[in-house]
Amino acid sequence: MKIILVAGARPNFIKIAPLIEAIRRYNGSSPGKPIQSILVHTGQHYDYQMSQVFFKDLDIPEPDIHLEAGSGTHAQQTGKVMVEFEKVLLKERPELVIVVGDVNSTLGAAVSSAKLHIPVAHVEAGLRSYDREMPEEVNRVLTDVISDYLFVPTRDAVENLRKEGVPQEKIYMVGNVMADSLVQHRAKAEQSAILSQLKLEKKGYGVITVHRPSNVDDRESLARVLTMLGQVSSLVPLVFPAHPRTRKNIERFGLQELVPESSRLRLIEPLGYLDFVNLVMNSRFVITDSGGVQEETTILNIPCITWRERTEWVITLSSGTNVLVGNDADKAIAAVRKILDSPPHSDKKSSLLDMWDGNAAVRIIEVLVNERSLRP
């Protein structure tokens, strides 16, 4: 059984790692029916802090194939992945392609596979923000339409697919592979020295991640974010591991005065997985526009304030760990004040997260091996 796993960006690496481990364990227990897995790195994220460090932290083996898609517009990036991945498919002729998440690499690899009649499994299927202005929403919807196996992390995602008329036999409720990575690597993350390196006290700071084009590629939008963060930092120190594009645009738009070096808003370089998890688990709260960070904070039960109008991770709202504030600074500041005026969250997880137990990847491999033939 030959399977190709596709990863291209930071959130993909976190989600693909448990699948690689689950395949390794399956092969160790079933020597007569091994899975041959080929890991393809599309190169959507390619610098060390956004790519290679995650392979190191998550014990992911060196990719078998690099597509080197690089940066560019959405069409350029998706198109480059499609062209280069088609060559891989024609050479390797896999029985199945597994794609994860909702980045351009996900859609590009899924389209190339579907056009060659190679079955596609989409991990993290069914999520919907119902905001088509988000390119990730377009990627999600289209990938789900052409996939043969839809591995779903939440019950609301199952309902989304049913409402869209997806046949029941394609839908598998398996849980969240992001939770798998946290369960597998939390002990190592707890050993990180990032707090001492940054001279931070537990629960004495907030964490910031902002990287979406709608928030950082426009001068007015980025200035609004930075002004809000400056106001929040007057209440509590903030640590901002800045995405390369965010940092570049702060300089390009001449907004450095909104993040002076002497302020309580500290811009630092992007962090690896273990350091970032440690930073989040010991924080008072997180302000983000990232879907993955909304997942991580919910798993860790850390209050999250999301700088977006809508989210695909509806379960994070239902579980009480996350609140949407749009791009309204007053709402964000009010949310921070409410968190600071309340006792820190306990480690108790919401009952809604019943399958976020660290075994999603194992369930996925069990379905692919035992449920039915890989050939539709």
The C-alpha atoms of residue 20 and residue 188 are separated, in whole angstroms, by 18
The string of DSSP letters for 179-192 reads HHHHHHHHHHHHT-
120: DSSP letter: E
**Annotation marks residue 74 as catalytic:** no
SS3 of residue 286 by DSSP? strand
Q: Assign 243 to helix, strand or coil.
A: coil
Q: What is the DSSP letter of 285?
A: E
Q: Active site residue: 45, 122, 185, 211, which one? A: 211
- β partners of residue 3: 37, 96
Label the pairing between strands 36-41 and 65-66: parallel
Nearest to 272 by CA among 153, 188, 184: 188
H or E stretch covering 287 = strand 285-288
Q: Which amino acid is at 351?
A: S
Q: Catalytic site residues?
A: 211
